[in-house]
Homo-oligomer: A and B are copies of this chain.
Amino acid sequence: MASDHTRSAILAAAERLYADRGFGDVTLRDIVAEANVNLAAVNYHFGSKDELIAELFVTRSIATNRERLRELKAAEEEGGGRAPIEVILRALVGPTLRGCLGPENQRSTAARFMIRASIESVPPIRRIKNREIDHLRKFVGAMRRSLPDRSDVDIYWGLNFALAMAHHTIRESERLTKLSEGKCDLDDVEDVVARVVSVATMALTAGRNEAKAPSKVAAR
């Protein structure tokens, strides 16, 4: 393998720069300077700039997805094939939130990179996210088994809202801190996870009146 020193130096430098300054204004020349390698090395090792970004993002999101599925599988095995909905939701949003939130000063490069990725959404990353549907279907299956009386539509909406709360909280964590003047503690990740799971659980288990015809409840 001839020591992939150059390759991994590029990956590390790129992740660091993207995490710090976003995808918008980091050029290949910035990356190779940070990594102390030659400009042509990026195209030699990765083919193109987009493929470098894709590799960075794939690596991180595979790790998150693996953790998600590990938690999901453990929960379903413990429940004999049927896990409580709270635990399923926790497996869905927990790894993502834990990977991105937490005390800022001790936030890893990977975490800050993933926050950027969720904010800026550059083409190569969007392409990868679009392939994530099969992964989500596994959670749909588990949710169906957990709530056999719920309609598919309600399941999908519940999943959508759970992801919404998790991702939006990550994306807009700064704004929430500012709006709440620090009263919302985003460093207490487990509290954030609990809040998201709690609300998503309510969304999925509330009386069928509200869920099937919510306009009855929420309309003026």
Taking the full assembly, how many copies of this chain does it contain?
2
Report the Cα distance A202→B202, complex, angstroms.
7
Choose among A153, A191, A218 the residue with the greatest number of B CB atoms under 10 Å from its CB.
Answer: A218
Structural contact, A86 and B156, CB atoms closer than 8 A = no
Closest chain B residue, CB of each to CB of A122? B24
**A interface size (C-beta, 8 A):** 58
Chain B residues with CB below 8 A from A121, complex form: 119-121
Q: Measured between C-beta atoms, what is the minimum distance from A56 to chain B in Å? A: 19
Q: Does A2 contact B (CB under 8 A)?
A: no
Chain B residues with CB below 8 A from A176, complex form: 156, 160
Q: Is the interface of A mostly helix, strand, loop or mixed?
A: helix
Q: Measured between C-beta atoms, what is the minimum distance from A17 to chain B in Å? A: 17
Contact of A202 among B136, B153, B203 (CB under 8 A): B203
Counting from the closest, the 7 A-B pairs by CB-CB distance are: A164-B168, A198-B214, A156-B180, A197-B218, A194-B214, A194-B215, A199-B203
Residues of A within 8 A of B (CB): 24, 86-87, 89-90, 119-123, 129-130, 133, 136-137, 140, 152-153, 156-157, 159-161, 163-165, 167-169, 172, 175-176, 178-180, 183-184, 190-191, 193-199, 201-203, 206, 210-211, 214-215, 217-220
